[in-house]
Amino acid sequence: MHVSYKAHHLPGRISAAVFALALALTVGACGAKNGSDASKKSSSSQSQSDATDGIGTQMAGVSASGEPGKKPKVTFHVPMQVVNNSYAVLQKGNGAKIEPGQRLCVQDVALNAKDGSELMSSWEKNTPDCSLVMNKQKINATYYNVLINQKVNSTVAFGVNDKNSAGTSYIMAVTVISASANRANGEKVKDIPSNLPKVKLGATGKPSIDLNGYQPDGKLVVQTLIKGKGKKVEENDTIDAHYSGWVKGKDGKPSQFDSSWDRGESSVFSLQQVVAGWTHGLAGQTVGSQVLLIIPPDQGYGNKEQKGIPANSTLYFVVDILDDQGQTQS
């Protein structure tokens, strides 16, 4: 993202176990039983021969106890033979239904299938993985098709036959702790100054902009277009956002240099890793808001040319604040 090259090139916060899970789960579906039949069975009574369209084999004999949304106590008989691409819904969530396009934050715990010992857990240090976007073209079919039917605070177990030298097989219990919206969802702001650029939204929420003859005066302009009702963003927070950015082209029309919408998923970054105009402009806004930022060169890239951005450019951004993950942990 052109907001900051540093932020754009940061790897996603993916735990080693979740990364292994994503690699190990096979993409193909197995079996052909329909989902309505499968959903009537509890995870403790499901046969490993049962499956649903586009979803892997269901695991038998795995259960979990505890409060939904908290670290579960997962139990199973050991040693357990784990089928790759297998799953079991251990706890039904009590939050909002998971929708396509949302970014999920999950906590996870991995248990050795041989003896039940805990191999890793993100719960103790509270380091959720927020890299999973519900985009069926980009993630494993089983992962998508199981989670899309769940609610926030659900816990789902996935079986993994790890292809490492030790041949470790394990059960990954994934708890969805939050699901961000996929576009601003607040109330439209009235009485926006008529001299500002005009923003129009497409069917998916992607913005386009008409500069409307606007003449920048070297000052940062922050105009809320949609006012969200969520958490107030602090300048040290890490946020999840959709955005598009433009500069004024030689023909006087807006020239887009970057857009998370075009990449098909939102971006997660700390407000300490972006240009100053973003830090100053988004701090104090609320989750669910859409904000127009007009950033002068001294709060953008100054006299340094970037790809698609001439030196000393005024930057125009429309930003949808989807989620606030709090302050970045050191």
- What are 188-199's pLDDT values in tens digits? 999 999 999 999
Residue 227 CB neighbours (<10 A): 16
Q: What angle do CA 117, 123, 129 make, to 5 degrees?
A: 110
Domains of the chain: 5-179 (3.10.50.40), 187-327 (3.10.50.40)
| Rounded Cα–Cα distance for residues 73 and 219 (Å) | 54
pTM: 0.72
- What are 64-98's pLDDT values in tens digits? 999 999 999 999 999 999 988 899 999 999 999 99
Highest mean pLDDT out of 1-15, 123-137, 231-245: 231-245
Find the helix or strand (DSSP H, E) in which 261 lies.
Answer: helix 260-263
Name 249's Cβ contacts closer than 8 Å, sequence gap at least 6: 255
Nearest to 278 by CA among 249, 253, 322, 245: 245
Residue 328 pLDDT: 55
Structure tokens at 120: 């890793």
Q: DSSP of 91-122, one letter per residue? A: E---SPBP-TTPEEEEEEEEEETTT--EEEES
Q: Are 225 and 190 in contact (CB under 8 A)?
A: no
